[in-house]
Structure 1
Amino acid sequence: MGQIHNIEKLTDCKFLNLYHLNATSVHNTPVSYFVASRAKSINELKIKTGKNTPDGVIIYSLHGEKRDRVVLVRQYRYAIGGYIYEFPAGLVEPNEEFHEGAVREMYEETGLKFTPLKVDPAFEKPYFTTVGMTDESCATVYGYAEGEISKDAQEDTEEIEVVLADREEVKRILREENVAIMCAYQLMHFLQDEDPFAFLKEEL
């Protein structure tokens, strides 16, 4: 196992920071590594805490009387200079339970009312997003959305279009558009499964 010798915080931003690690690999090779993190201090890094608490939530939600549409957002992302399809998502606020965060984020991004499902913890525990560059982890919350789409609660810094996609539209999106990988894998199951949430009824 590699050994981390010291950590330096390089930025002091509100939502994301960059840290530099000096380390030695298992092969005794010096390593200079950079980690982006939601942590506001070195002591809050998962390297230090050893805990995998969710930084954010990803919301996989079905909509409509037949629950045959999936709630997506088409969002402008500066990292790619263009639009990408994602599930509604956002950061968990301090002392906020992540299911509550999912309800809040769904309303803020889409105007919809979200009702989370109770599922086996293995399906919704925090999983790491892009661990080669960040210690960020997100919990996935599953459920049903209802109501009318509204942009009233969106932040001025966001550019979000809400999409209620049926299976034909999902096929087009996967074929033609930029899609976040966490969303894409679930959409592939959405296309094939009569009940997209059937797997959540399993006990692990």
Structure 2
Amino acid sequence: MPEIKQATRKTENPYVNLYELETKDRVGHDKHYYVASRAKTAEDLKLSTHNEKPDGVIIYGLTPEKDKVLLVRQYRYSLDEYIYEFPAGLVDPGENFRQAAAREVKEETGLTLSPLTLENGYERPFFTTVGMTDECCATVFGYVSGNLTSEGEEDTEDIEAFLVDREEAKRILKEERVAIMCAYMLMHFVADEDPFAFLK
């Protein structure tokens, strides 16, 4: 089994940092590996804590009629391009993940989110891109209402929100850049008569 000997923080950023891991591979060779993390210290890395406390949330919000889904089209520096995603964001200290989801939806879109409370494990935190980060996010499912606005958008964000029907979702999947987590859920939305049926 591989072994991690030491983790060293290499950057000093407020939201995400790079950690260098000194490791041995499964046959005993010394290696260096790099991990991006929301952790503030090496002791807070999930490889140290082994907890699944969510760093962030992803929101799958439908209109009450379940005929439209909430998407955002956001500029991402990593691509130098706009990409379709679900609203998402970090869980602030003192918040639970459902509170964080409602806050993020309001800030990014102006809409009000009424989260569902699930007991079947679908909203428990899962890991995102484990080859490069220990980030863990909870998916919050719920209904959205109100009017779309960009009044809560921060200067560091370039986001446009949309409520899209199934035909527009199909077009987006065919023609646009889409984050993979969003793409999988859009496939449910397009194909399922009741997009929340799998939650039962």
Q: Which residue of 1 aligns with 2:197?
A: 198
Secondary structure of 1:14's partner? Answer: coil
Q: Equivalent residues in 2 for 1:152-171 (5 A)?
A: 152-171=151-170
Quote the offset at 1:7 in angstroms.
1.0
Mapped partners of 2:195, 2:179: distance in 1 = 19
Q: Equivalent residues in 2 for 1:47-126 (5 A)?
A: 47-63=47-63, 65-126=64-125
Indicate yes or no: 2:27 matched with 1:6: no
Unmatched tracts of structure 1, length 5 or more: none
TM-score, normalised relative to structure 1: 0.96
Unmatched tracts of structure 2, length 5 or more: none
Does the 8 Å CA contact 1:120/1:200 hold for their aligned counterparts?
no
Quote the offset at 1:118 in angstroms.
1.4
Quote the offset at 1:122 in angstroms.
1.1
Moved over 3 A (4+): none
Mapped partners of 1:197, 1:20: distance in 2 = 41
| Identical pairs, percent | 56
Q: Which residue of 2 aligns with 1:179?
A: 178
Secondary structure of 2:121's partner? Answer: helix
Quote the offset at 1:2 in angstroms.
0.9
- Write out per-residue CA displacement over residues 105-159 of structure 1, whole angstroms, 9 at most, x where no aligned residue: 0000000000001112410111111000000010000000000011111101100
Mapped partners of 1:157, 1:197: distance in 2 = 33
Mapped partners of 2:48, 2:143: distance in 1 = 36
Mapped partners of 1:52, 1:2: distance in 2 = 21
Quote the offset at 1:95 in angstroms.
2.2
Number of equivalences: 200
Q: Which residue of 2 aligns with 1:18?
A: 18
TM-score, normalised relative to structure 2: 0.98
Secondary structure of 1:122's partner? Answer: coil
Mapped partners of 1:175, 1:21: distance in 2 = 39
